[in-house]
Each structure stands twice: as C-alpha cells, then as structure tokens.
Chains A and B, each alone.
Chain A
Amino acid sequence: MAPRTSPARGRTDARLAVDIGGTFTDVVLEHGARRVTTKVLTTTRAPEEGVMKGVAEALGLAGLKPGDISLIIHGTTLATNALIERKGAKTAFITTEGFRDAIEIAYENRFEQYDLFMVRPAPLVPRRLRLTVPERMTAAGTAHLPLDEAAVAALVPTIEKNGIESVAVGYLHAYANPAHERRTRDILAARLPELSITLSSDVCPEVREYDRFSTTVANAYIQPLMARYLGRLDADLKRAGFDCPLYRMMSGGGLTTVETAIANPIRLVESGPAGGAILAAHIAAECGLSQVVSYDMGGTTAKICLIDDGVPQHSRVFEVARQYRFLKGSGLPLLIPVIEMVEIGAGGGSIARVDQLGRITVGPDSAGSEPGPACYGRGGAEPTVTDADLVMGKIDPARFAGGTIALDARSAEGAVQSGVGKPAGMAPAEAALGIAEIVDENMANAARVHAVERGKDLTGRTLIAFGGAAPLHAARLARKLGIARVVVPTGAGVGSAVGFLRAPVAYELARSRFMRLKDFDAKAVNTLLAEMRAEAMGVVRRGAPKAKLAETRTALMRYTGQGHEIVVPVPARPLSAKDADALRSAFERAYRALYDRVIPGGAVEILSWTLAVASVQARPRRAAPPRSHYTPKPQSLRGVVDPETGRLARIPVYWRSELRPGARIRGPALVAEAETTTMVTGDFDAGINALGYVELVRKGQAKKTAKKTGRSGKGA
C-alpha cells in the first residue's frame, strides 16, 4: 500500500483539495509543480458556501477555470460536529426484543474511577425511540427465534407519529447472519420509501453489540444531514462548471466516491486528521525515512501517529465526541477503519493551572479561538500554552499568524503570573517554562504509552511536525522521546488538505466469524474473504477504474480466554488447511512483538477478518541532499528562555522565507515564518533540506541518525 499519485486523470493535472474544519475551510490547488492555498471562514450552516468561495479564490490565484480541474477531494468535520453537537436527524433504533438498553448501558462502567459526579454520554436515541422486535440469532448465525414480521410492520405508525427521518436496525449476532436485518429493511422501505435505514450488518458486521449498535446509530443519525450536504455541494460544483470526479476523504486515509460516502457517512468522521497523517507519510517517503512520528499540534489538541514504511498505523475502532477531559470511554465508540492516532488535550489554547498538590497542569480544556489565549487581548484571562511560549520569547508578538493578530505580551505575562506563577511561587519566566515543559511532557507520555500499546519503539524515529503550535514544541518533545531528528515541512498550516492529494482510493471491510484455530475451516474462510474482496473491489473500482490495486488482509486473533484481539497479517490468496500452522506462527510473531512472549500451549482463536483494497501509487522520488551548504546571517537577536537549559539567552532569529536549501544553523535559534516558528533548542542544530523543509538534528547525532533511518547522503 503506497498511497501516492492522483486516483484518476482528467484533461489537466490540476487538482483541488478542500478541508472543512471547525473554524477555517482550507483549499489547496496543485497544478504541475505549483501549489496555491487559501483559507476562508467555515460557513457552518451551509458549508458548501465557504467551499465555493475558497475554491473560487484558489482558481483565481492559479489563473484556472473550473473546467481545468481534473479532480476534487474533500474532507470535512461536519460529521464529527453533528455528533458532538447532537445536531443529527431524529432517529429511531430497532433492536432485538430484550436489548433496547444496550446502547445506553454501554460498558456499565465509570471511565473516571474517583469522580462521584460522573455522567455517561447520553445515547443518540432516547429510550422511548428504541423499539424492539421479537427475533433472535445465535452466535453461530442460526435463528433461535424467527423474525416477527408483523411486529416490524407494526412499528410504522410509531415511526411516522414521531417524525422519524432515519432508522438504525441492530439485531444481536446480525454480523453472523444479516437475514433478519435485511428483511426488516425491506418491510420498512416498502412502507416508508423516504426513510433512511442503516443496518448494523452493513455498516460494521463485527461482534460486540454495544460497539456495533453505537456505530449503526451514529451512521443513521448523520446520514440524512450528510446526504443533503453532499448533494448540495455536488450540485453547486456542477453549476459552477466543474465536471471532474469528486472524492471524499475517509477516516482510514483512503478516498471514496460520493455514493459510498452517502451510504456510510460515519466513515467520514475525522477525515481531516487522517489527511495530516497521509501528508506526514508522504514527507517521510520524500526524505527517505522509514520510521517516523507524525506530530500535529493546533489550537486545542495535539495528534500523534506512528508511520512505518509509509503506512500510518491503523485501527478498527475510534471514539468520537469524548465529553470528559478527552478520557477514554467518555465518548461514543465507532467501529470504523481509522488511522490510529493518540489525541491529547494539548494545544496552543490549552489552559494552565496549579492543582491542589502545587503541580502545574495543562489542559485538556482550551481557550479555543474565542476568547483565545490571554495574549490575543479578547478577554481570555487564564494562561495558555501560547501565552507561555510568548513569555518565554519563542514567539514574536508582532508577527504571530503573519501579523493578523497582534499579541499582547503584557497580558500573557499577567495571566501566566496570576494563574500559575503566584500559586506555585514562581517568577513569570519560570512559570512559563513550567507550563511549556508540562505540556511537552504530557505529549511525550501519551506518545510513549501509545507506542508501547502498539509494540513500537520511538527512539530512532524522525518527528514530522506540522500545525501552528508543533514547531514551537517539536525539539523538546523529540528530546523527551529520545528522538534525534525533526522535520518541519513547508505549508504546514494546511497540512490536512495537502495530505488529501496524496491519498489512494481505498476501502476496508471487517467481518466477524468466530473460529478456533484447531477447527480452522479454510473453505469457509475463503468464501468469506472472497465476498469481502468482491465488495471492496466494487467500491474501489468505482473510484479508480483502471488503477493497479493492492490488497491487504488481516485476522483478529487471541488466545482462548483472553479479551483483546491482536492484528495478524494474512496472505492475500486462498487459504488451505495447511495455513492453520502459518496463522499460528504469524499470531505468535505478532503477540511476541507486542508483549515479548508467547503462551506455551495456549489455544488460539480467530474472531474477525479484515480486507482492504487500495489503488497502488508510485512513491515520490527521494529528494537529493542540498548540493552545498552555507551559514546564513540572523535577522535579529531575541531573549528566549531555552527550555533545554531553563536559562534566558539572546539567541538568533532567522526568517524561513530567506533561507535556501543548504542553510546550516546552530541551536539555540528561532526560525520564524508567517504561520509558525520553529524553536531550535540548544541541543539541536537546524538546516534547510533540498525540499525547503527545516530539519533539526540533535547535536552529535547527525551520523548516527543517518545510519538508523537508512539515509545515505550527507543530509542537512
């Protein structure tokens, strides 16, 4: 799977990507070697308006007409926001009699052990709209109780009376046999042709009823909204004269067609961050780096993702709308293919405080963009990470965000002093250093635990930093993680949209089918995988009719008696009885990679299978090292508290726009640009590589890193 070039070719190579975020809609247009970017405000009520405005601006800047565009790719937080803000359709849930509370009872747990006043997220469908039907499948997929068809038909008046727009159908063990769900859909569709209907056996045919039902209900909840929006955008684009293919970015990092997006809008959740990870994977390939950490830090959160050999880590489950300090368990689980990343409540706007132990804490709550950090001068009184960065001297108050927001250094210092310095008994500079160090440590801890959970090591990797706040903190984070090299790409402010342009057309499916390895049934597995392959191929071919396709298969396996499956690679070919042994060895290899051991004599079982199909694309050519090196002159000197030493020093400031490939800078230094500033701490040196990216290398480590990451040339 090497996601690269464009999925389809039009008459020119001009391609557009649009990422609708909460605040801004980013548009990127690539035409040959040229790239044009624009940012417009998101028009929340009718997002297509912002899109059309941004697209028109980008076309104007590039001097192109709608007819010149060969492809449009589009990602949006609309689906996520509808779930967070509970602004979806009026939805009913039809389930097996006896189980109407499964989506509310959830895991029966408290995600915060010590909080007596904890509240669990309310389900998307209230109890009175959770309707039940007598029917029951067993785990083996045989009908223990036949579907009561009359009971299904009898629900029609209730659906009508309550003005229901969308219905989720989730029956127990429907992943093993979807017959009852499909029959239910047919009965309802015949009587209510306008009704949106989502089946659990379509959306995520996987075992574990709460997770599956939660996904099904969420899909039903956002389906009408997303279908209307996607339809309107499609019409607006056609009217404006675009006649190229339109793709949607999915949470798993692949592109899909509008039909698939309309049927499965839940797969569009978190597409923006996925674009960021795809971009990082692309940069890794350009720089010839096999193992990287993608690090995206914006205003409210930081996202960290591990990428090996150009492929970001994937996961089968994502939790959306965490409502309690980003805690695991405080949101709604979705069984969808996602690029796996750890998200930490640590951004430029994260608020710092002192707790009852006298410890500095940062986040997870954020001052957002309104009122924003104290230094924005819009009424924010609590100190934030950006305020701390400003007090430490890392940010030039006159040039923040390209000079669009003049920062007020005195407000920042006042907020840092009253919110942290005074209660902790520290001077403002010390308090600011403490805030920065704690937020960096929080990110480092989260990254470390994330890597361990995946059986991965962080040392020896390269950190790829983008998003407005990441370059300010990347060196320090790298140091804490034992990472010796950092890359800060250009255009980091619209990273997700750029990433969309590098994504393959792809689709991933998962099916549960329980099987003990000692009873391995190759024929049944082959039948199942062939069905899955046909379905995935069908979806991908619609978007990439001629591209070469690659297929990836995995089995989700565990020792009998355990509760968590691990992902085991499976060859993409028909299996035979002999493959049972190979599966066991592959399982043991994967288990050992995660836990450093195997269980001698332990029986092994398979719960589910996954299959992904993606268009194969050429890897980008690896950039050559700069031909010559030079030492640039600093623009100015500025007093900065170096977080590495904790001391104030006057350090050189460089303008990134004036640096050429081959530039070499000794840390400590600052490399400033319109959207962000790269802090080069004293333990790092910096350079500009042939692509114009800033590269930080830990002092004394240049050779070692080059070896580990397989770089040959001299590097920056």
Chain B
Amino acid sequence: MHQSETPANMTAPTDAGNGRSAVRDLRIGIDVGGTNTDAVIMDQTNAVIAWTKQPTTRDVTGGMNAALSAVLEKIPGQQGRVGRVMLGTTHATNAILERRNLGRVAVVRIGAPATTAVPPLDNWPADLRRTVEADHIVIRGGHFIDGYPIAPLDVDEARRFFGKVAGSIDAVAITGVFSPAFPDQERAIAEIAAQELGSDAVVSMSHEIGSLGLVERENATVLNAALYRVAREVTGALESVLQQRGLDATPFFAQNDGTLMALEYAASYPVLTIGSGPANSIRGAAFLSGLDNAVVADVGGTSTDLGVLTNGYPRESAVAVEIGGVRTNFRMPDILSLAIGGGTKISGTPDEPRIGPESVGYRVDTEALVFGGQTATLTDAAVAGGRTTLGTTPVDGWSADRRALLGAALADVDARLDDAADRMSLGKADRPLVAVGGGGFLIPDRVPGVTEVLRPAHSAVANAVGAVIALASGRWDAIIPVGAGRKSAIDAACQTAITRAIEAGAEPDKVEIVEMTEIPLSYLTDPSTRIHVKAAGPLGLL
C-alpha cells in the first residue's frame, strides 16, 4: 500500500473556511465507461491513494458526480490538496449517437468552383443531418496543393450567407480546401462571421480540427460545431460540481490520443473528447505496469478492448473512423473490440456454447450465478475455472452439465483472446499483455501471442489513472516540399505543434516533439510529403 499522507502534507497550512491547502499535490482522474464510471486520486509520486467504481448513468453527469463524491469521501478533510481534475467522458459521443442536444450549424465550405461534385453533408444519415444542418454554402476560394489560389476569396458571399442565417443558427463550421496547409482564408471567414453574427458567435475552423481529406475533415468540423452546447454543459457541469464541493481544482479533459486539454480548449473542441476512454486505459496500463510497449486488454462488463502501447502511446488506427454514421479522419487508437466482458451471458450446450453478445452489465453483482442470481455469465465461468474467487455462492454444488458449459465457454473465450492478441501484436509475440479493467480476471495467465500476462495493482481503474497521468499535446499537419525549403517547413510545423501543446496546458520548457511521420505523395511532379507532427509535455506546475 502506498503511503499517502506525509507529515509535511498533514501540517499544510489551509485557508480559513474552505479547507484550501497551500500544498496542491493531489489529482483526481475520472473516466466514464459504458458500464462503470471510475475515479482515482493520485499524489505527487503518482501513487494511487483512493479509487472508486460507480455505475454509469444515462445522463453521464450523474455517474460522474457520484464517482467524484465517492472518491473524495475517502480522503476526508484533505480535498483542499486536490489541484487538478482530469475527466475522460462520453458526453459528446452519446449526444451524437442519440442525436440529442446538438446545435444547428451553418456550414461554409471555401473551395468553389472546385469540390461542388460532392456538397457538404451529402452522405450523412438523414436524421442527423436534419438535426444539425441549418444551411450550407460553398463559396469561392481555397488553395491548390502548392498554395496557388483556386479563386479569390468571396467575402461578400459569405457576408450575405451569414446575414441570411443570423438568428436561426447556433454555430458555424468553416472548411477550406487545403486549409491544414493554408489556414488564412478560414480565419478571414471566421472574422466575417464574428462581424455579422456577433463576437460571441461559435465558430469551428477545420484546420484546427482535422487533417487532409476534405469531406472527413468537414464532417468532423460540423460535428464539433454541433457539440458546442454539449461542450458548454459538460465543462459547466464539471466546474459547478467542483464549486459545490468547494474544490478549487483546475479541470482538464482527456482526448482521443491519450493526452489532455484545458477546459477552455475542450469547450472549443468537444469532438476531440470522442474516443478518449480506450486511449486512457492504454496509457493507464502503461503507467501501472511501467512498460512502454505492450498489448493492453481492457475487460469491462460488456466488452474487451485490445489496444497496443507503442513507445508509451496508443498505436493509432489507419482506417477512417465513423462517428454516429459520419465518416471522419480522426486519429483514434487502434482498438479491437470483442463482445467479452464480466457480465457477458452464456447459453447453449457444452458442445456448442453461445457467448454473448448480451451482457448483464453492472448488474453482474446480483444476476450472476456466483452471486445467487439466475444468469450464467463469464464471471461464473472464470470462478468455476479457478481464475478468481468472486461471489457468495459456492460453485461445488453445480451440476456437471453446468460446469461443462462454463468450461467450454471459457475455452472459447481463450481462443478468441489468443487470436485477438496475435492480431494486435502483429504475430511477433514479443511483448507482454497487460490485463486491466474490472473484468481483467477473465484473461488467462498464459496467452500464446504474448510473452507474459501482467496484472498491475489498481488495474481495475487503469482508465482513470490514464486520465490523471496524461500529458498535454498539440498536433499539426502540413504538406512540405522535398527539396529546398524542406528544413524550414519542418521547423515551422514543429513550432506550430509545440505552440498548440502549450495552449493545451503543457509546460513550455518540457514540451517535446513525440511523433513525426512523413507520407510521400505519389504522382506529383514536384515531390512533396505530407508531414504530421505531435508535440506533448507534462502539465505546467501549479
């Protein structure tokens, strides 16, 4: 057990009244999952000093508040030591999936006469489009790949468009052709929007959201604009719960690459919070196990997510990511999801066991056989197979038939996990597997595709740990020439990424370029490459 209270901390001077401490050495991580919302408190040495698991509520905020309250109760009188709260949440994902609480967006594309063959939002699911789109326009402007203008920017048309939609919209999304390399026109149109709609108009610009690939970046930008209200609510909810609890802590939000952004940043880029859960559990597993390279299996109540830790970060997926039926070009962790969780139901016969995909979810504590319930679950199979000793009902009395079914189900699960681990480790069998999440006991001690299976302390709340220890980051994409000018173009791209990381809360002295990839572009006469840079660093000191 980690020592959590040093004498220095115990005698820390406090402000009168609200218990605020001069020593702000604790951080709280909260991660909202499909079944449970987890919270942890960690100290300056990164030791976990308290944790909790609460059921996720339909509104998400309720579970978040319950987890925060429960974990604070474990450090009575010391909440003044909490300096930061990191939240990984599914508010934005749920809003899109349920078409709930989304804003009406005026969609501006800068690129005519190019791009008109595929107008904005053309391939969106009809109901989502009806909910989100107020109006759209494709105005003249944008750039070729080499920066040559497609057409002079048509400021007047933008002005007329904003005049027409004023009063009937909640937000504006602006996407220009090749704006990740040449962002000025998006900024100019954002300026016009502010003039026509008021300086508090909510505007999302695509060069701040995504990389090359016009339709996908535009989709992500429109979703981001539509989420403005969700963003305000969730940031507001977090701020108000901190206030209610008298916590004078700085809030941060986890994003899809396993790094953090400041609250003001999250309020502007809510779409980046989508997919933060898997990223957090992979980063948390890295921290708890002390490894930089591993396969991570996060076993929850309903599903198992396998990801890969490469040099301390989640390996990213190479394929387009769909959110609520909309194609985007987000960089998400490369995740293989299996319908295998602690609450997964088992039926069928020993010869042909049927596993899931239905799950009893967090009700496993009452519905599973080992807890006196009536439903055979994978938790029961794990207990019968000697992998854990959960439950209140002894398994000795179970019939041979039932034991045979549970045994067959477990063998089936093992085969699927073997296959999944082999896929994720690219068949190299050169790295260990870290089992995390509430259902981590389902993973056997030996998995053929990995060197060993590790179960670090506090692995049940690895995702919340991942939120606490995350770095702040910034990214930048650009197209750069191969010959002269290459060096200065790379330097400029790195500097932009570093500036963005600092804006996201990173300590200026400690920001580093953590990732740089170059993709040569084929079929071009002037050789060019597309460069992607990511900078990250620890959060600045309080």
| Physical interaction between A and B | no
Chain A residues close to B by CB (< 8 Å): none
Report B's interface with A, CB cutoff 8 A: none
